[in-house]
A and B are shown apart, each in its own frame.
Chain A
């Protein structure tokens, strides 16, 4: 799939994530989120002309006057899709945005999270992504649960669909068994490779689909329309210039 297009990882992920954006729905990402921002803009071009796109911190796609407004908008259930990346994701759908090691004396410390603990309950569809597919990213049990895959008994949440997209594969969170499963493997990779690079048991049963190929049209649209729009509208213009190739 990447053969012939010479995709950067950012391009590959943005294209795969763009397919999750639905028409007439509200999709959002936080600040410091170049890849999902690109994904949403591409999704709108490709198939979702009436999508409401929210890119926090941007000039043209941050419609709220205050941060609290966005927070309560999400809490009320007015977002349909939210993108999250985290340093660790485990088989129970938990993610970690805080520390590696002890919380009070960690080996690695991250800035934290910006509402994602709430958003993981408030938004019906969550797409997580990771720029690497490695055993250190996909762990048996996260060091710190910043966002929980499953609610304790009776605590209601709106989240109904959770997917994870990496450079190798797509994972789905099984809503019944509450476990991450392998959904599809991207062209150019094997199930064995995915299993080898995942730090938890993917419980493979039977044939695994291949992720639908990345198309010429997706790549071209990304590298022309979307790239120039991001630069013109100052939506992650430097990243767009450097991480999205020329057509």
Chain B
């Protein structure tokens, strides 16, 4: 998948890639993968894959500012995903005056690649943010259990999604208080 999203970030229509040939993966996706002659070596054939240009990328990060600069995790691929996508939404733990390009707590993504920044403290809950808060194992196990049937998962959704009007109310429901002040509007 890396080659496909990288091709998307480069703005080219497709990419040569290794593997896939002879697999059911390629067999089931004739619109996304083809086998062509290497234009530079007629002895060789290569798999080509369509570039990936998602409509939206959605991440959760550490910091954001009003202009849309964000600081996301240090060692992920968010920049690549952002570049390949038409719109990018980033929820962040805190809003600062100005995200510092040199901030060593994370990886800087410039505002030009971001469509919307949203302040959402504890916005990954029940999953965790390394360095800030651990995953809520009990609640994740609750999720796994609830996923056993339509009925139990609908109950789960009612409790945590439909009967809750906002992220703030969700946090109250699960008994958490963000360290930082009210959601900016």
Contact = CB atoms under 8 A, between A and B. Distances in A.
A98 B22 CA distance: 15
B19 interface: yes
A145 B45 contact: no
A151 B77 CA distance: 30
B19 A154 contact: no
A150 B22 CA distance: 7
A148 B77 contact: no
Size class of the B contact interface (CB-based, 8 Å):
20 to 34
Contact of B18 (A75, A94, A150): A75
A66 B77 contact: yes
A98 to B, nearest CB: 8
Interface string B1-44: 01100100000000001111111110110000001010000011
Contacts of A119: 19
A146 B45 contact: no
A154 B25 contact: no
B185 interface: no
- Of listed B6, B43, B75, residue having the most chain A CB within 10 A: B75
Contacts of B28: 103
Interface string A117-150: 1111110000000000000000000001111111
Given A66-B75, A68-B2, A71-B2, A117 B44 contact: no
A119 B20 CA distance: 10
Contact of A144 (B20, B22, B24, B43): B24
B35 A152 contact: yes
Contacts of B35: 152, 155
Nearest to A112: B25
A157 B45 CA distance: 10
Dominant SS among interface residues on chain B: mixed
B24 A145 contact: yes
Interface residues of A, number: 30
A165 to B, nearest CB: 23
Given A146-B24, A152-B35, A117 B19 contact: yes
B146 to A, nearest CB: 19
Contacts of B46: 155-156
A117 B25 contact: yes
Q: Which of B22, B24, B35, B80 has the most CB of A within 10 A?
A: B22
A156 B44 CA distance: 7
A65 interface: yes
Nearest to A65: B75
Given A154-B43, A155-B46, A148 B18 contact: no
Interface of A: 65-68, 71-72, 75, 94, 98, 103, 117-122, 144-157
26 contacts: A66-B75, A66-B76, A67-B77, A71-B2, A75-B3, A94-B22, A103-B24, A117-B19, A118-B18, A118-B20, A119-B19, A121-B19, A122-B19, A144-B24, A145-B24, A145-B25, A146-B24, A149-B22, A152-B21, A154-B37, A154-B43, A155-B35, A155-B46, A155-B47, A156-B45, A157-B18
**A-B CB proximity, top 5 nearest:** A148-B22, A118-B19, A154-B45, A155-B21, A145-B24
